[in-house]
């Protein structure tokens, strides 16, 4: 039995203790060490002008490329093959001399991307499934994690949100056993000041319990996946429940315009938009004027023209020297803008983030499940995946497997799916050679062919 299964068998009271203990551990690792200094550094750079921030970015990029070429086997070989030296990359535009790096290449040669400078050190591993559903595990330095949380708290603080604020959290973690049929559908993380709600129990039938608890808590901040927060907003409108919400932050999926509208109508505030990912190759934050600014001091971000109007987001993660990614294709699309934001912050603007527009799938009893890409987080031998739904309560999962995929992988995958979707959704796994892309070249993770009514 793994720890998660053990946790799910505990009584609710003890689950709260475990959630808080875990919350304490996370608080210490995220916000210890250099976090405060990082945050202070980021905040001071908010008021720099464009020229100064670009110079700062390019200086970091230069040093980072040098580090990559000197200590990372993949880049040592790449630069020698291209007849380049680290000195050839001095600014963002110089990166064009390097090929775009796909996630597939990183997956296939993952050890060759590790910096020799960190050999023998025990580093935390991060997992990502990203928009394409392909799993990747990579090492991150403690400093890079503090820096990531520094840049994430910068934009929150622009909006007056502080770390001591209690949060109503609607994320992807399964904190409540799927078999549980009665409230509470939430657990309390005291040190992290979070009420963690289960996204997997949300339905027309259970929503009143959720809303009552949200109201009772008095918390003013909602954080979660846009699809889940939108569902809660729709239901609050339907039931006429008013909550004293001041901030809504979202992550993991892009926030669609109609979702923004519903959330605004239900809670009276606009969700603060933000774009980032575990690999740390790009970060985009919304300012109080509604401008979406590239965080130039956090990563070197390029926008490559795509086939439709939107551009591909290509990024270089100069904050994590343990696993350098130069010109990494995130698999997301964004529309750059040449507008100037009245706020005066120095980062380039994007008009919108077009990627990760994942749909939900609908279970037999009408619950909506989002962010199912968690299923594939640890499936390193699944190259691509797509969840296809033609009728409520059933999905077909297409996978493209990598070399070495075997029965143990399929069993682990099946277990993971059952854990996430419970017995309210049947599924089949189909092996395919490739997955068709959308017109804009995007691999969609969920393709839902349900009628608007069924969805
Ligand atoms: Zn702005």
Q: What is the pLDDT of residues 196-233, one digit of tens each?
A: 999 888 888 899 999 999 999 999 999 988 778 888 99
The CA 338 to ligand 1 mean position distance, Å, reads 13
Q: Tell me the CA–centroid distance for residue 316 and ligand 1, in Å.
A: 23
Q: Please tell me the distance from the alpha carbon of residue 140 to that of residue 126, in angstroms, as a whole number.
A: 7
Same domain, yes or no: 293 and 315? yes
> At 354, is the pLDDT very low, low, confident or very high (cuts 50, 70, 90)?
low
CA of 346 to the centre of ligand 1 (A): 8
| pLDDT at residue 359 is higher than 70 | no
Percent of the chain predicted with pLDDT > 90: 60
- The beta-strand segments (E) located in 276-373 are 284-286, 292-294, 300-305, 311-316, 328-337, 349-353, 361-362, 368-369
Regarding whether 264 and 225 lie in a shared domain, the answer is yes
Dig out the tokens for 106 from the structure. 């990183």
Q: 337 CA to middle of ligand 1, Å?
A: 12
Distance CA(161)–CA(148), nearest Å, equals 17
Cα 288 to ligand 1 centre (Å): 7
Distance of CA 244 from the midpoint of ligand 1 (Å): 26
Q: Give the pLDDT confidence of 120-137 residue by residue, as tens digits.
A: 898 999 887 654 556 789
206 occurs within a structural domain: yes
User: To 10 degrees, the CA torsion angle through 207, 209, 210, 216?
Assistant: 140
Question: What pLDDT is attached to residue 368?
Answer: 66
In a domain, 453, yes or no: no
- Is residue 439 domain-resident? yes
One domain for residues 43 and 125: yes
Examine the domain organization and report whether 65 and 205 are in the same domain: no
- Regarding predicted confidence, which is higher, 370 or 397? 397
- On the question of pLDDT at 172 being above 90, the answer is no
CATH number where 137 lies: 3.40.50.12780
- Same domain for 142 and 69: yes
Q: Is residue 455 part of a domain?
A: no
Strand partners, 421: none
DSSP state of 272: B
CA 428 to centroid of ligand 1, rounded, Å: 46
Centroid of ligand 1 to alpha carbon of 334 (angstroms): 17
Q: What is the mean pLDDT of residues 384-404?
A: 87
Domain range enclosing 264: 3-31+160-271
- Do 385 and 335 fall into the same domain? no
Residues contacting 45, CB < 8 A, separation 6+: 53, 56, 297, 346
Q: Which two tokens stand for residue 282?
A: 């790009």
341 C-alpha vs ligand 1 centroid, how far in Å?
5
Domain end: 221, 240, 271, which one? 271
From the CA of 311, how far away is ligand 1's center (Å)? 21
Looking at the domain assignment, is residue 328 inside a domain?
yes
Residue 3 confidence class, pLDDT cut points 50, 70, 90: confident
If pLDDT is split at 50, 70 and 90, which confidence band does 288 have? very high
Of the two residues 418 and 308, the one the predictor is more confident about is 418
Residue 235 shares a structural domain with residue 336 = no
Report yes or no on 342 lying in a domain: yes
Indicate the number of domains in the chain.
3
Distance 40 CA to ligand 1 centre (A): 19
Within 13 Å of residue 448, how many CA atoms lie on the same side as its CB? 19
Q: How far is the CA of 148 from the centre of ligand 1 (A)?
A: 20
Residue 345 alpha carbon to ligand 1 centre in Å: 6
Indicate if 148 and 108 belong to the same structural domain.
yes
Residue 357: per-residue pLDDT: 41
pLDDT value for 440: 46
**pLDDT score, position 187:** 96
Ligand 1 centroid from CA 109, angstroms = 39
Which of 72-76, 135-139, 321-325 has the least mean pLDDT? 135-139
What is the reported pLDDT for 447? Answer: 86
CA of 210 to the centre of ligand 1 (A): 34
For residue 341, the model assigns a pLDDT of: 96
What is the C-alpha radius of gyration for the chain, rounded to an integer number of angstroms?
22
Cα torsion through 361, 362, 363, 367, rounded to 10: 110
Report the range of poorest mean pLDDT among 159-168, 193-202, 269-278, 328-337: 328-337
- Between the CA of 285 and the centroid of ligand 1 the distance, in Å, is 9
CATH for 376: 3.30.300.30
147 and 40 within one domain: yes
Question: 83 in a domain, yes or no?
Answer: yes
pLDDT at 91: 97
What is the distance between the alpha carbons of residues 355 and 255, in angstroms, rounded to a whole number? 10
324, 353, 382 - which closes a domain? 353
Query: How remote is the CA of residue 50 from the centroid of ligand 1, in Å?
Result: 12
Q: Are 279 and 259 in the same domain? A: no
Q: Where are the alpha helices (DSSP H) in 32-102?
A: 35-45, 50-71, 73-81
Q: What pLDDT is stored for residue 261 in this prediction? A: 79
Indicate if 370 and 429 belong to the same structural domain: yes
Residue 45 C-alpha to ligand 1 middle, in angstroms?
Answer: 14
- The share of the chain scoring above pLDDT 70, in percent, equals 89
Asked if residue 142 has pLDDT above 80, the reply is yes
Residue with tokens 């502080």: 162
Choosing from 333, 353, 373, the residue where a domain stops is 353
Ligand 1 midpoint to CA 347 (Å): 8
Structural domain contains residue 454: no
CA of 310 to the centre of ligand 1 (A): 21
> Cα angle at 449 between 447 and 450, to 5 degrees?
125
Query: Of the spans 72-86, 167-181, 320-334, 381-395, which averages the highest pLDDT?
Result: 72-86
CA of 289 to the centre of ligand 1 (A): 5
pLDDT at 104: 84
Verify that 17 and 72 share a domain, yes or no.
Answer: no
- In this predicted model, which residue has the larger pLDDT, 12 or 453? 12
């Amino acid at each position: 039995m793994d720890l998660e299964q053990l946790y799910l068998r505990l009584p609710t009271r003890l689950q709260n203790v475990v959630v808080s203990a875990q919350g304490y551990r996370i608080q210490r690792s995220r916000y210890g060490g250099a976090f405060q200094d990082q945050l202070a550094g980021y905040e001071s750079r908010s008021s720099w002008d464009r020229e100064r921030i670009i110079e700062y970015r390019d200086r970091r990029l230069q040093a980072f490329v040098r580090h990559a070429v000197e200590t990372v086997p993949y880049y040592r070989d790449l630069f020698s093959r291209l007849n380049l030296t680290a000195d050839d990359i001095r600014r963002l535009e110089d990166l064009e001399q390097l090929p775009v790096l796909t996630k597939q290449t990183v997956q296939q040669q993952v050890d060759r991307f590790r910096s020799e400078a960190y050999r023998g050190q025990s580093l935390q591993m991060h997992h990502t499934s990203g928009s394409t559903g392909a799993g990747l595990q990579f090492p991150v330095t403690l400093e890079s994690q503090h820096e990531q949380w520094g840049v994430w708290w910068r934009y929150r603080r622009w909006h007056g949100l502080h770390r001591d604020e209690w949060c109503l959290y609607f994320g992807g973690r399964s904190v409540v056993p799927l078999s549980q049929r009665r409230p509470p559908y939430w657990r309390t993380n005291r040190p992290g000041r979070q009420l963690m709600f289960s996204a997997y129990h949300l339905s027309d039938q259970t929503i009143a319990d959720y809303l009552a608890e949200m109201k009772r808590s008095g918390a003013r901040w909602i954080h979660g996946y846009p699809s889940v927060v939108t569902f809660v907003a729709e239901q609050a409108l339907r039931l006429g429940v008013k909550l004293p919400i001041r901030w809504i932050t979202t992550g993991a999926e892009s926030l669609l315009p109609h979702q923004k509208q519903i959330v605004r109508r239900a809670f009276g505030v606009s969700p603060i938009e933000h774009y980032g990912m575990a690999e740390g190759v790009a970060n985009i934050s919304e300012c109080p004027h509604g401008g979406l600014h590239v965080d130039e001091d956090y990563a070197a971000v390029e926008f490559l023209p795509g086939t439709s109007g939107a551009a591909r987001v290509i990024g270089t993660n100069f904050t994590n020297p343990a696993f350098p990614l130069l010109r990494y294709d995130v698999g997301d699309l964004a529309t750059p803008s040449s507008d100037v934001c009245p706020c005066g912050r120095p980062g380039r603007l994007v008009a919108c983030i077009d990627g990760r527009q994942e749909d939900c799938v609908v279970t037999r009893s009408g619950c909506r499940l989002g962010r199912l890409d968690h299923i594939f987080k640890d499936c390193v031998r699944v190259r691509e995946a797509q969840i296809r739904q033609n009728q409520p309560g059933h999905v077909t999962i297409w996978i493209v497997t990598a070399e070495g995929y075997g029965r143990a992988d399929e069993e682990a995958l099946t277990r993971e799916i059952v854990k996430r979707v419970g017995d309210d959704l049947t599924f089949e796994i189909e092996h395919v050679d490739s997955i068709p892309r959308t017109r804009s070249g995007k691999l969609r993770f969920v393709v839902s062919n349900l009628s608007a009514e069924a969805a």
